[in-house]
Amino acid sequence: MQYRPLGNSGLQVSEICLGTMTWGQQNSEAEAFEQLDCALDHGVNFIDTAEMYPVPPRAETQGRTEAYIGNWLASRGCRDKVVLATKVTGRGDNNAGMDHVRDGPRLSKAHIFQAIEDSLVRLRTDYVDLYQVHWPERDANYFGKLDYVHGSDDGIDIHETLETLSQLVSDGKVRHIGLSNETPWGVMRYRQLAEQHGLASVVSIQNPYNLLNRTFEAGLAEMAIREQVPLLAYSPLAFGVLSGKYLNGGKPAGARLTLFERFVRYKGERTEAAAAAYVALAREWGLDPAAMALAFVTAQPFVASNIIGATTMEQLRANLASVELSLPEELFAAINRIHLQNPNPAP
């Protein structure tokens, strides 16, 4: 396992980060503990969660994922060995099904203060290393939306959100702050306000990035490098589609897209055609398709850490092993040819 700087935070994070959003829904607490123990044994020091997890979001399960992690940290006594990241839920009416979180979450001072206190209790810790805004307060292009239409500006101002996050840093409850599902304008606005007002500056951005969705490269990749706000890449396997298990109508038992019809982002004719082409390419090179897809993400110069998620130990071990794979230039070229023929079928 290699380690990379988390922006200019001074923290070094493993190139693989353990994602947790299935814990409490598809995975039990015992299974979460097993995954955490295995990841730590393999050199993973970075754990990512969120107050709204597990997914799909439901009132009866909300916060369960953080509680599992907190119980594991307490039982293992290893808080000092991990970089712990969580998120504050964004505006509820920008993402349906969030009314059970603080009666409709906002990114105001009162909401953020309540969110961090609740997360710290569940995580059984005094601080989190990275506290991220899960998605913007304002209307913006995220969760697959590309056709920006400017709406009303009735959201909580970014300045208030950033001032509150900075206060959490000053109070010692948060070491560093980051963004998630953000746009180039959003990143620069946070950076601009931090510089103007002497506030904490964001050190990372967590957005989707995979072979089926490389839209991060269009505007955010340059920013990630020049502004030292590297990507924490989520959905590197596109909900498992890039493993090939859903091809030709496949519906493996217990898999996310089999269980939950709401996840349609990585479905469609173009998506399946591109996935089939990447899977065939990997097999042509004698590689596991999932390993190739993960290695592609990890190799990008704007990526600080690749967030993997697994529901079985077999999947987890295979995903962790992807760090041993280095893709040759000829394979990168072949991947890019497929991309140019069918670009970003699942943004």
Query: Quick one: which of 212, 206, 219, 223 has its CA closest to 246?
Result: 212
Average pLDDT, the chain: 94
Q: Which of 3, 53, 142, 148 is catalytic?
A: 53
Of 9-18, 93-102, 130-139, minimum mean pLDDT range: 93-102
With beta carbons less than 8 A apart as the criterion, state whether 22 and 55 touch. Answer: yes
Average pLDDT over residues 44-63: 97
Per-residue CA distances from 234 to 16, 174, 193, 308 (Å) = 11, 22, 26, 7
Determine the pLDDT at residue 266.
77
* Residues facing residue 206 across a β-bridge: 180, 232
With beta carbons less than 8 A apart as the criterion, state whether 104 and 157 touch. Answer: no
Determine the pLDDT at residue 319.
97
- The token pair that represents 306 in the structure block: 């690749």
Query: Is the confidence at residue 265, as pLDDT, over 90?
Result: no
* Full set of structural domains in the chain with CATH: 3-341 (3.20.20.100)
Determine the pLDDT at residue 253.
64
Query: Quick one: which of 239, 236, 241 has its CA closest to 208?
Result: 236
* Strand pairing category for 83-88 and 128-133: parallel
Determine the pLDDT at residue 154.
79
CA distance 313 to 41: 13
pLDDT, tens digit, for every residue of 239-249? 999 999 888 76
With beta carbons less than 8 A apart as the criterion, state whether 282 and 332 touch. Answer: no
Determine the pLDDT at residue 47.
98
With beta carbons less than 8 A apart as the criterion, state whether 135 and 94 touch. Answer: yes
- State what percent of residues in the chain have pLDDT above 70: 95
- The token pair that represents 133 in the structure block: 């805004």
pLDDT, tens digit, for every residue of 312-337? 999 999 999 999 999 999 999 999 99
Determine the pLDDT at residue 262.
59
CA distance 136 to 134: 7
Query: Is the confidence at residue 257, as pLDDT, over 90?
Result: no
Determine the pLDDT at residue 97.
85
Opening angle at CA 314, ends 245 and 292, nearest 5: 55
Determine the pLDDT at residue 153.
77
Single-letter amino acid, residue 97: G
Query: Is the confidence at residue 251, as pLDDT, over 70?
Result: no
Residues 6 or more apart in contact with residue 58 via CB below 8 angstroms? 97, 100
- State what percent of residues in the chain have pLDDT above 90: 87
The whole-model pTM stands at 0.95
Query: Is the confidence at residue 258, as pLDDT, over 60?
Result: no
Average pLDDT over residues 58-79: 97
pLDDT, tens digit, for every residue of 3-32? 999 999 999 999 999 999 999 999 999 999
Determine the pLDDT at residue 61.
97
* Residues facing residue 131 across a β-bridge: 86, 177
Residues 6 or more apart in contact with residue 86 via CB below 8 angstroms? 48, 49, 50, 51, 66, 119, 123, 128, 130, 131, 132
CA distance 92 to 140: 14
Residues 6 or more apart in contact with residue 265 via CB below 8 angstroms? 143, 144, 239, 346
Query: Is the confidence at residue 70, as pLDDT, over 90?
Result: yes
Q: Is 190 a catalytic site residue?
A: no
Radius of gyration of the chain (CA): 19
Buried b (16+ CB within 10 A) or exposed e, 270-285: ebbebbebbbebbeee
Determine the pLDDT at residue 256.
61
Of 87-101, 106-120, 259-273, minimum mean pLDDT range: 259-273
With beta carbons less than 8 A apart as the criterion, state whether 347 and 146 touch. Answer: yes
Confidence of residue 119 (pLDDT cuts 50, 70, 90): very high
pLDDT, tens digit, for every residue of 198-208? 999 999 999 99
